[in-house]
């Protein structure tokens, strides 16, 4: 799962994900918004791939995110049966030509729902993807356009989004984020209290794939709004200028 602010960062991540798959003769399914199609196709072609030829070979399928959502969304969220029909059919068509391959899927449907304010529906959709992965072989990459330096994002959106993903990438440059958070924490609370906070985070946050800088921001945001807001604001400025 990639969180992004600038579309260019997301496009780079997705292009790398797809390039590795195409080199291994693994097909890809993109479920993306109409206004992003050109950006993704242009970036893929800059790596030397011809999108029309990839489609002809059965290595690439592109679905419109909004139209696909319309095929399975009900009033209270995604319909499991209609989701399986809409997505499962396309996956089956791709795998029919390469039965042993792992399909690489990138989807923006959850981001569409999230940006519309339907975070619970986005999480429900993520869980349907996870259920489907027990029946079909695919690797799923999701993208969310979120401001990770906003306190509300840290306390409300991210905990649930992280819960339904096995691998999280909160920003395009995790190393730069880690340095920014370290410096922001030192600037805000001083070295002694910063050390205490890191110890508390290590005790309170389960060991997982969550990057340390994000674990610190999550813990601060849930325990001390005032300090968290100062650290997030300072980290935003440092990350932008690093």
Cα–Cα–Cα angle for 105, 155, 157, rounded to 5 degrees: 25
CA 24 to each of CA 27, 167, 221: distance values in angstroms, whole numbers, following the listed order: 9, 22, 42
Question: Given 90, 125, 145, which residue is the final one in a domain?
Answer: 145
Residue 19: give its domain's CATH number: 3.40.50.300
**162-221, pLDDT tens digit by residue?**
888 877 777 788 899 999 999 999 999 999 999 999 998 888 776 666 778 888 988 899
pLDDT at 206: 66
Task: Evaluate if residue 28 carries a pLDDT over 80.
Answer: yes
Number of domains comprising the chain: 2
H or E stretch including 193? helix 174-204
Band (pLDDT 50/70/90 cuts) for residue 224 is: confident
pLDDT at 166: 77
Task: Evaluate if residue 12 carries a pLDDT over 70.
Answer: yes
Question: Given 128, 145, 162, which residue is the final one in a domain?
Answer: 145
Structure-token pair, residue 80: 């499991």
Is 61 in the same domain as 123?
A: yes
pLDDT at 1: 87
Domain assignment present for residue 161? The answer is no
CA 45 to each of CA 18, 51, 156: distance values in angstroms, whole numbers, following the listed order: 11, 7, 37
Residue range of the domain that includes 105: 2-145
Is 183 in the same domain as 135?
A: no
Structure-token pair, residue 37: 């199609």
Domain assignment present for residue 94? The answer is yes
φ and ψ of 206, to 5 deg: -55, 145
Domain assignment present for residue 182? The answer is yes
């Amino acid at each position: 799962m990639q969180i992004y602010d600038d579309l260019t960062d997301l496009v780079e991540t997705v292009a790398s994900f797809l390039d590795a798959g195409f080199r291994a003769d693994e097909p890809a399914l993109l479920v993306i918004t109409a206004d992003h199609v050109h950006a993704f196709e242009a970036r893929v072609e800059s790596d030397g791939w011809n999108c029309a030829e990839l489609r002809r070979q059965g290595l690439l399928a592109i679905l419109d995110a909004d139209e696909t959502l319309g095929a399975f969304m009900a009033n209270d969220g995604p319909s499991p049966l209609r989701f399986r029909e809409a997505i499962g059919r396309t996956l089956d068509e791709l795998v029919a030509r390469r039965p042993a391959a792992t399909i690489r899927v990138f989807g923006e449907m959850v981001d569409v729902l999230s940006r519309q304010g339907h975070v619970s529906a986005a999480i429900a959709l993520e869980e349907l993807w996870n259920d489907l992965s027990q029946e079909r072989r695919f690797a799923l990459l999701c993208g969310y356009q979120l401001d990770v330096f906003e306190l509300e994002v840290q306390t409300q959106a991210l905990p649930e989004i992280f819960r339904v993903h096995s691998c999280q990438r909160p920003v395009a440059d995790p190393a730069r984020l880690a340095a920014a958070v370290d410096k922001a924490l030192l600037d805000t609370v001083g070295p002694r209290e910063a050390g205490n906070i890191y110890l508390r985070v290590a005790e309170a946050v389960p060991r997982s794939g969550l990057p340390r800088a994000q674990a610190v921001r999550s813990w601060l945001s849930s325990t001390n709004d005032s300090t968290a807001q100062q650290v997030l604001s300072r980290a935003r400025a440092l990350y932008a200028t690093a």
